Structure 1
Amino acid sequence: MTDDRDEGLEERRKRLSAELAERRKGEAVDAAKEMQSEESRKGMALGLKISSEFIAAIAVGFMLGFLLDRFVGTTPWGMIAFLLLGFCAGILNVLRAVGMVAKPRSFDGDDQGGKG
C-alpha cells in the first residue's frame, strides 16, 4: 500500500515539475516581450523629446524675431535672422540629445579636477 502511495506521489511530483518548467518558460518569454516593449517606449519618448525641443527652438526664434521687428521696425529681417538662429539652435539641441555633440562645460570650477 505504501508503494502505491509513493508511486502516486512520485508521479504527481514529476507532473508538477513539468508544469512548473513550462510555466517558467512562458514567464521568460513574457519577460523578453516586456523588455522589448520597454525599449520601444524609451525610443518613442526620446523621439518626442527631440522633436519638441527642435520645434520649440524654431518657435522661440520666430517669436523673438517677430517681436524685434514689431518694436524696432525692421519688418522682415529680424524675423528671418532669428528664425535661422532658432533653426540652428534646434539642430544643436538635437545633436546634443543624440550624443553627437558634447554638452557645454560649466564655468563654476567643478570640472577642474581638484586644482584650485
Structure 2
Amino acid sequence: MQPDRIIRCLAALAQEHRLAAFRLLVQAGADGIPAGVLADRLGVPPSSMSFHLAQLANAGLVTQRRESRSIIYSADYAAMNGLMGYLTENCCGGVPCDNAASCEPATTRKSA
C-alpha cells in the first residue's frame, strides 16, 4: 500500500463510530451488514452513519452493495490486511516473529 492510502485508512479509523462500525463489519464477514442495522447497533443516527460509512468507503476499507432497498456494507479484508502488513512489515527488526500475536523487538523480549 502507498503511504497516502495508509494515511487515509488510519484517518478514517481515527474516529470512535467509524472504528466501531469497521470492527462490526470485520466480525460480520463477507455477508456484511445493512447500514441501518449498523446505525442501530451503534446508537448512531442513520444520517451520521451514512457519513461515517462514506469515510470508510473513501479510504477503501469497506465495500457496499445494494440489495433491494438496503445498502449492505462489508469490510474489505484485502485493504485491512494491507494496512496491517504495512504497519508490521518491519516488526521485530525484520526477523520473523516467534508468536505473531505478541510481536515485540528481540531487544525487549524476556528470556524464557
Q: TM-score range by the shorter chain?
A: under 0.3
> Normalized per residue, which structure has more strand?
2
Q: Which has the larger radius of gyration?
A: 1
Q: TM-score, normalised by structure 2?
A: 0.22
